[in-house]
Amino acid sequence: MPLVANTQLPSFSRYRAEGGEVLTPRRAQDQSIRELHIGLFNMMPDAALEPTERQFLRLVGGCNRIAQFYVYPFTARKIPRGDKARRHIDQYYFQTEDIEALGLDALILSGANPVHLRLVDEAFWEPLCSLLDWARINVTSTLCACLATHAALLYFHGIERQPLSSKRWGVYRHETKSGHPLVQGANTRFDVPHSRWNEIYPEQMNSANLNILMESDEAGVHLATSEDGFRFVYFQGHPEYDHNSLLKEYKREVVRYLNGEIKDYPPYPNSYFLEDAKNVLQEFQDKVMKSSDKPSLVDQFPEREIQAHNTWGDTGKVVVNNWLGTIYQITHQDRGKPFMDGIDPANPLAYLTGDK
């Protein structure tokens, strides 16, 4: 939550200039402790549907302890689903039209597993674009994760993602590039997991006047925002990942190899496994290479013997906490009315500085 500049202490102005949230007394008096209502548009395939729910719930739930967060999962009905996932959605998810009628303070768009070369051919494309149009007018801020970022930048700016020569997969060192309020309190150097076959490069984002906030020499842009600084927040990395998400992803690739779906044994995710884990995995790989019946080894993958580590969670929570804290300060009491009187939608962050 922000500080209130209840005196003329110069340090308040200095802290605000550094990107800290400082309200004037008049702005502070307009605030009231209340809840935030957050939509979660989940486009992940069946196997990742519920894990994705939990990952984002952990990110949101690890934030500010004063506000109360209501999370509303929903999805694109056009995405093909199996019976189990369909039952889960029918029982627990909201309808898109009900979400739009209800109104939201914030919206999270999950990643997805593309099955076509072109995003415009995906089952989720039209529902997602319709939702982006609605969110641009009706939601204070929308957070896009990975493929949702690629889709939004294609839809809004005509930016085409670029194929990589190999999968960008693992944990990479990043640096903070800006004093933006979203990165206030984050480490200046930190880790982020990535997992994708395509990239949107800094030059492409600069051409659309996006604000790049976190970047890696190896993995590219992790965090950026729309030109206004807040309406849309774009992640290319995965701050929501659990400590073992990359382990499970690696296991899926190994199983694909064992079943003959891919030709080469998968490499390790970058900078993720420690040496003791690599030793265990190498023993299993050696066993695989000597076996004439590789599919029979699927159940022997040593997942329980691997100690996976999370070196990115704290920074991810800081950014999401800053995101939700900013939304809390500039949203209306009434959902569906995201901007209070006097807030310029083209520059919503100006409200926090007392400039508007």
**Alpha helix (H) residue ranges in 103-237:** 125-138, 147-157, 202-207
CA distance 218 to 155: 26
21 catalytic residue (yes or no): no
Q: Which of 180, 238, 249, 253 is catalytic?
A: 238
Long-range (24+ apart) CB contacts under 8 A made by 349-356 are 349/181, 349/228, 349/229, 349/230, 351/27, 352/2, 352/21, 352/22, 352/23, 352/27, 352/181, 352/326, 353/16, 353/22, 354/5, 354/23, 354/24, 354/26, 354/27
Residue with tokens 């604000």: 211
Q: Which of 21, 53, 240, 249 is catalytic?
A: 240
Contacts of 5 (CB under 8 A, 6+ apart): 12, 13, 16, 22, 23, 24, 25, 354
Q: Which of 146, 174, 194, 249 is catalytic?
A: 146
240 catalytic residue (yes or no): yes
175 catalytic residue (yes or no): no
Encode burial over 294-316: b for 16+ CB neighbours within 10 A, e otherwise: eeeeeeebeeeebebeeebbebb
Report the catalytic residues. Answer: 146, 238, 240
